[in-house]
Amino acid sequence: VRFGGSSHVVVDGLTVAYTGAHGANGSGCKQGTIRNCAFLWIGGSHLYTRNNTPTRYGNGVEFWNGCEDMTVEGNDFENIYDTAMTNQGPGEGVVRNMVWRNNRVYRCEQAYEVWFTHPELLVDGLFFTGNECIDSGYGWGHVQRPNKNGCHLLAYNLKCRIGTIRYEKNTLNNAKDAQIWFFNPRLPEVEIDHNTYIQKSAAPHAAKLFRWVGVDKAGVTFSEYQRLTGNDAH
């Protein structure tokens, strides 16, 4: 499903499955909604070769660079090679009033991923709320991947300007590698609270499941994450 340059588009009640790249994606889209859909068994194909290296990827729903007033709600994501949901890109623009709400994610490598590398892109309202994320990193693609990042909330490079990014009221249930994993030092700038974390472990409170640049690469425990970032006080 291509959203490039679209406005006022509603995708409701479709099943999107068995594609080698993405389920839905677009750039520069506005006032759109994806709801009540299922995105299943997506990504992981050998799409092209560059410098003698095969390229594989695949996200459930991806918005590239800027978008405004987009809502993704009430969908099911299952067995996706990369991430269920994502905002990312190297370009300029604004991400404004982007809402990911009340979705269910099962056995994807990540539940939600974000990265922006242009210093002039502004994130002015990005909300990930009320989602249920289960067994991230336990899907079919994990064992095959050259980069294993089985986590619920992932962020690569964030060189953008951050106004508001908020993750709240989510249930993050069991992750292979980390509950939250930021490959940058900006985790304290993201507003994260009222989430429930569940981890299958003999000693979950001692598990180092929160990782970002600035702490030991093995990660920190939940209480250390709270103390160092000020997040998830509730």
CA angle in degrees (0–180, nearest 5) for 183-73-167: 35
Separation CA 47–CA 55 (nearest Å): 6
- CB distance 169 to 144 below 8 Å: no
Binning pLDDT at 50, 70 and 90, where does residue 30 land? very high
- CB distance 205 to 195 below 8 Å: no
Q: Per-residue pLDDT averaged across 16-31, rounded?
A: 96
This prediction's pTM: 0.97
What pLDDT was estimated at residue 113? 98
For strands 24-30 and 48-50, give the pairing. unpaired
For strands 161-168 and 24-30, give the pairing. unpaired
The per-residue pLDDT for range 120-139, each reduced to its tens digit, is: 999 999 999 999 999 999 99
138 contact partners, CB below 8 Å, separation of at least 6: 107, 150, 174, 176
CA distances from 1 to 4, 63, 110, 183 (A): 9, 12, 21, 29
**Mean pLDDT estimate for the chain:** 97
The per-residue pLDDT for range 179-232, each reduced to its tens digit, is: 999 999 999 999 999 999 999 889 989 999 999 999 999 999 999 999 999 999
- CB distance 50 to 86 below 8 Å: no
- CB distance 65 to 160 below 8 Å: no
Percent of the chain with pLDDT over 90: 97
In sequence order, the β-bridge partners of residue 158 are 116
